[in-house]
Amino acid sequence: MDTERDHQRATELEQGHASHDHMSHADAAGADPVGRHHSDADHSGHQQSGADHAGHDHSGHQHSGHDHSGHGAMDHSGMDHSGHGGHGGHAAVFGRLFGIMAVIAVPVIAFSPMFGHLVGYMVPESGPWGWVRWIAPVLGTVMYVWGGKPFLTGGWSELRARKPGMMLLIALAITVAFVASWGASLGILDAQLDFWWELALLIVIMLAGHWLEMRSLAQTTSALDSLAALLPDEAVKIVDGATVTVAPGDLVVGDVVLVRPGSAVPADGRIVDGTAEMDESMITGESRPVRRSVGDTVVAGTVATDSGLRIEITATGDDTALAGIRKLVADAQNSSSRAQRLADRAAAWLFWFALGAAVITAIVWTLVGMPDTAVVRTITVLVIACPHALGLAIPLVVSIATERAARAGVLIKDRLALETMRTVDAVLFDKTGTLTKGEPTVTAVETTGTRSDDEVLALAAAAETDSEHPLARAIVRAAEQRGLTVPAAQNFSSSPAVGVRAEVDGTEVEVGGPHLLSARGAAEATIAETWRAEGAIILHVLVAGQVVGALRLADEIRAESRQAVEALHAQDIEVVMITGDAEAVARSVAADLGIDRVFAGVRPADKAAKVAELQAEGKTVAMVGDGVNDAPALAQADVGIAIGAGTDVAIGSAGVILASDDPRSVLSVLELSRASYRKMKQNLWWAAGYNLLAVPLAAGILAPIGFVLPMSVGAILMSASTVVVALNAQLLRRLDLRPAAVVAAAERHPAGRHPAER
């Protein structure tokens, strides 16, 4: 995105101009960073070594799964929690099962002899009502087999996979309670081991916990699925001049569809007729509509807010940008990271910790002569030590973070990149097209006579109206932006290496650079030398052979760039700019933006070396570029960020893709990285700390002072720990990742990195 790209772009522009409507403006041998409209335009700030640019003075620009083993099979038809996909259906299944088991649990608890004893009534065991004593065992068995099926099948799946985890612990706990309860009911074991009511509560509570978890995960998945819901149910296809209503899925490449005002685009395409303000917020996160006209591409799901369009379909189904974004987010959610691997290892170790604690608990209570208590304490340990919250701590945060980012136009390809972003202390921006707009803009008008700036610009625009060259378009656009009335021109002509000529109100008007001045024997404007030192393109406007003014054209700096640099500085992050432009040009831009450090005159192939140079200084570097010309540098950086990618999600060298071209979005990535890291850390501390404290209590360590944790309370605490983790992760949804909001927050809280993140 600098020298090499500039050469290519400028050469294409000039050659197109030379063979187009007025060949005079560009000498096809030359090139300049923004595309020389006039080969004789004075462009001293940008010189290519080895290229003799006719008419140009180029003296300055020198170019030499989470596995979630705890879920096992869980009767989920293969769901492994790695991506948390499809949880909406699982939430409904668990919700129904929870409701049914809650109803069945009522008679189980009511007719459980031990529960009756606790609350002060007796369940008949003989006589005409003696049969009621079998209600709890029979319905309890139904609950164990039906309500416990997800845990039993999940535990068996973990056992077969040799990855014991949460499901196996729950399966062991309810199986021990089930066997002991039947033993007590049949008189084989002591009556004190009648756990039917606790087994019923245990299953109901565990189902409730899983249901809440599934609902949390389903919210993330459905939020992504809602992107697909933006597609219209019907498309209006144009066939032989008539309209036919079809399903979007029936469209094929090459079809032409009609998009009415207020309607969504049914598939990716190219506008062939019409102009409209398009709502592209679902792709870029930018709420302001964008003007799109003939030849522009539009994306499925975007909305034509004010006018109708005719669009030729270029991609359908899985080939659309929307499908690519959804796949990208799903891949990011399924990918692993350092924090995830740590959580997975901790969950695996926690299983053995829980199993060991359960065995020790059983042995100790048996040795002190209390075998009944040994069974109760063992079951409680198995239940309370389930590493469910630990297994959920990272995946839920990642799911919400990636979904939230996608809605803000930030696409996470690599979770490690998001994880690393919080530690970045240097951001390296490519200049052209990133900090600047990457296209020529009229930045100043200087008059040499009695005419006003507006008059000179209007005359230049009149002469350039018939040209399609970027520099001509820039002049015409500048006149339109000022609201000027551009007079009509006749007899348009062009002369190679000289300039353009047209008659305006009967007077000859010419626009060109140094060759035009030489041909007319005219002197340049006095300010030209200053502009030349700044690396600007200089075009002169002549009326009847006399210079009446000069135009300064340059690659305009984005207004958002200044805010981005200031906000990064407020966060104590060094900002570095890299460009192929000459030192003087680069320094001018850097000074305007307040950038700390500049790498100028750098070829694309050498950008990666500059990234490595910063890394050798001990810095963690984020590189922000276009993802194509900057691919080696993006790959070398600790975090590669492709900016302005729009819907191109196939950029392999970038870990993060910004759909918009707003450099402030880098702050959005930074804020998301820090916020998600905080949530991961909070969840891990809660989940691990809960188990370390709860297991000794469940084992009965405080029994000597009269405190014993009931089995049902243990189940409630285990489920509550999962709910706490889920709710904490949901707080990420409050993040406002709009660039303007993130920049404002960064400036309000200077150097806002969490101490643990430094």
| Residue 43 within any structural domain of the chain | no
Residue 39 burial (CB < 10 Å; 0-12/13-18/19+)? Answer: buried
CA pair distance 55, 404, nearest whole angstrom = 52
- Listing DSSP states for 593-630 in one string gives HT-SEEE-S--GGGHHHHHHHHHHTT--EEEEE-SSTT
Per-residue confidence (pLDDT) for residue 427, from 0 to 100: 96
63 or 42, greater pLDDT:
42
Residue with the larger pLDDT of the pair 23 and 646: 646
Residue 624 predicted with pLDDT over 80:
yes
- What residue type is assigned to position 326 of the chain? R
pLDDT at 677 over 50: yes
β-bridge pairing 436-447 and 489-495: unpaired
Task: Check pLDDT > 80 for residue 8.
Answer: no
CA nearest neighbour of 313 among 257, 234, 275: 257
pLDDT at 461: 92
Q: Is residue 574 part of a domain?
A: yes
Average pLDDT over residues 689-700: 82
DSSP 578-603: E-SS-HHHHHHHHHHHT-SEEE-S--
Q: How confident is the model at residue 192 (pLDDT cuts 50, 70, 90)?
A: low
Chain mean pLDDT for the chain: 77
- What's the CATH number where 628 sits? 3.40.50.1000
Q: Does residue 255 sit in helix, strand or coil?
A: coil
How far is C-alpha 415 from the chain's CA centre? 10
Confidence at residue 669, expressed as pLDDT on a 0 to 100 scale: 92
Task: Please check the confidence at residue 689 and state whether its pLDDT lies above 50.
Answer: yes
**Lookup result for tokens 């668990």:** 94
Of 315, 341, 374, the residue at which a domain comes to its end is 315
A 10 A CB-CB count for 245 gives 9
**Is 703 part of a structural domain of the chain?**
no
Secondary structure element (H or E) that encloses residue 539, with its range: strand 537-543
Give the model's pLDDT for residue 63.
Answer: 36
Between residues 407 and 609, the one the model is more confident about: 609
Whole-number Cα distances in Å, 545 to 55, 512, 521, 554: 19, 12, 9, 26
Answer whether residue 227 shows pLDDT above 60. no
Question: Of how many residues is the chain composed?
Answer: 758
Which H helix or E strand runs over 136?
A: helix 135-142
Predicted local confidence at residue 31, as pLDDT: 33
Query: What is the distance, to the nearest Å, from the Cα of residue 328 to the centroid of all Cα atoms in its chain?
Result: 9
Rounded CA separation 13/7 (Å) = 10
Report the distance separating Cα 112 and Cα 194, nearest Å: 8
The distance in angstroms from the start CA to the end CA of the chain is: 32
DSSP per-residue string spanning 40-58: TSB-TT---TT---TT---
In-domain check, residue 423: yes
The active-site residue, picked from 57, 67, 430, 661, is 430
Which of 666, 691, 712 terminates a domain? The answer is 666
pLDDT digits (tens, 9 = 90+) for 9-35: 333 333 333 333 333 333 332 333 333
Q: What is the mean pLDDT of residues 662-675?
A: 92
Q: Which two tokens stand for residue 123?
A: 């369940």
State residue 229's pLDDT score: 64
pLDDT band at 472 (very low <50, low <70, confident <90, very high): confident
Phi, psi dihedral angles at 291 (to 5 degrees): -75, 125
Cα(712)–Cα(719) distance, rounded to whole angstroms?
11
Instruction: Identify whether the C-beta of residue 481 lies closer than 8 Å to the C-beta of residue 488.
Output: no
Task: Let me know: does 238 contact 258? Beta carbons within 8 Å.
Answer: yes
- Count other C-beta atoms under 10 Å from residue 721's C-beta: 24
Strands 656-658 and 639-643, how do they pair?
Answer: parallel
Contact present, 659 and 646 (Cβ < 8 Å): yes
- Pairing verdict, β 621-625 and 426-430: parallel
The pLDDT-based confidence of 219 (bands split at 50, 70, 90) is: low
Of 32-46, 91-105, 272-286, 326-340, which has the strongest mean pLDDT?
91-105
Evaluate whether 408 touches 743 at the Cβ level (below 8 Å). Answer: no
Give me the mean pLDDT over the 65-80 stretch.
36
Least confident range from 28-37, 95-104, 425-434: namely: 28-37
Mean pLDDT of 490-512: 84
Taking the C-alpha atoms of residue 418 and residue 674, their distance in angstroms, rounded to an integer, is: 9
Look at residue 76 in the predicted model and tell me its pLDDT: 36
For residues 532 and 542, give the distance between their C-alpha atoms in angstroms, rounded to a whole number: 19
Q: What is the DSSP letter of 191?
A: G
Assigned domain for 150 exists: no
Q: Quick check: 284 pLDDT over 70?
A: no
Contacts of 372 (CB under 8 A, 6+ apart): 190, 192, 193
Q: Backbone dihedral region of 187: left (phi > 0), alpha (psi from -120 to 50 degrees) or beta? A: left
H/E run at residue 268: strand 268-273
Q: Is 662 a catalytic residue?
A: no
User: Is residue 451 one of the residues assigned to a domain?
Assistant: no
**pLDDT tier at 605, thresholds 50, 70, 90:** confident
Dihedral sign from CA coordinates of 646, 652, 654, 656 = positive
CB 365 within 8 A of CB 698: no
Give the DSSP H or E segment for 550: strand 546-557
Query: C-alpha distances in angstroms, 268 versus 462, 642, 718?
Result: 36, 22, 48
- Quick one: DSSP state of residue 144? I
Residue 651's SS3 state is coil
CATH at 276: 2.70.150.10
| pLDDT exceeds 90 at position 215 | no
463 in a domain, yes or no?
Answer: no
In this structure, of 77-91, 298-312, 386-400, 426-440, the range with the lowest mean pLDDT score is 77-91
Edge-to-edge strands of the sheet including 537-543?
436-447, 546-557, 537-543, 507-512, 499-504, 489-495
pLDDT of residue 336: 55
Would you give the distance in Å from CA 533 to the centre of its chain?
Answer: 41
What confidence score (pLDDT) does residue 369 get? 87
Percent helix, strand, coil in the chain (nearest 5)? Answer: 50, 15, 30
Whether 78 maps to a domain, the answer reads no
User: Confidence band (pLDDT; 50, 70, 90) for 406?
Assistant: confident
Locus of tokens 């909070």: 682
Residue 639, pLDDT score = 92
User: Within 13 Å, how many C-alpha atoms sit on residue 212's CB side?
Assistant: 19
Measured CA distances, 461 to 2, 14, 19, 549, 566 (Å): 28, 19, 21, 13, 36
What is the SS3 assignment for 494? strand
**Contact predicate 303/205, CB 8 Å:** no
Q: Are residues 416 and 284 in the same domain?
A: no
* Separation between Cα atoms, residue 714 and residue 2, nearest integer Å: 63
pLDDT of residue 518: 87
Task: Assess whether pLDDT exceeds 70 at residue 638.
Answer: yes
Cα(414)–Cα(434) distance, integer angstroms: 22
pLDDT at 722 over 80: no
Check residue 648 and give its pLDDT. 53
Contact 347, 647 (CB under 8 A): no
Q: Is residue 140 a contact partner of residue 181, using CB atoms and an 8 Å limit?
A: yes
- Domain count for the chain, please give it: 2
Judging by beta carbons within 10 Å of its beta carbon (0-12, 13-18, 19+), is residue 602 exposed, middle or buried?
buried
- Give the confidence band of 372 by pLDDT, cuts at 50, 70, 90: confident
The tokens for 127 are 């006589």
Residue-level pLDDT at 29: 29
Q: How confident is residue 347, by pLDDT bands cut at 50, 70 and 90?
A: low
Predicted pLDDT of residue 194: 74
More confident position, 431 or 58? 431
Residues 293 and 424 in one domain: no
Q: Give the domain-ending residue among 666, 683, 700.
A: 666
Please say whether the beta carbons of 56 and 29 come within 8 A: no
Residue 423, burial from CB neighbour count under 10 angstroms (0-12, 13-18, 19+) = middle
Q: How many helices (H) and strands (E) does the chain have?
A: 24, 22
pLDDT tier for residue 57 given thresholds of 50, 70 and 90: very low
Judged against a pLDDT cut of 50, whether residue 388 lies above it is answered with yes
Q: Running DSSP on this structure, what letter comes out for residue 215?
A: H
The Cα-based distances of 236 to 243, 252, 317, 696 in angstroms read: 6, 13, 17, 67
Return the minimum-mean-pLDDT range out of 214-218, 464-468, 600-604: 214-218
Domain of residue 300: give its range: 235-265+268-315
Highest mean pLDDT, choosing among 126-135, 210-219, 433-442? 433-442
pLDDT band at 512 (very low <50, low <70, confident <90, very high): confident
Can you give the pLDDT at residue 710?
Answer: 75
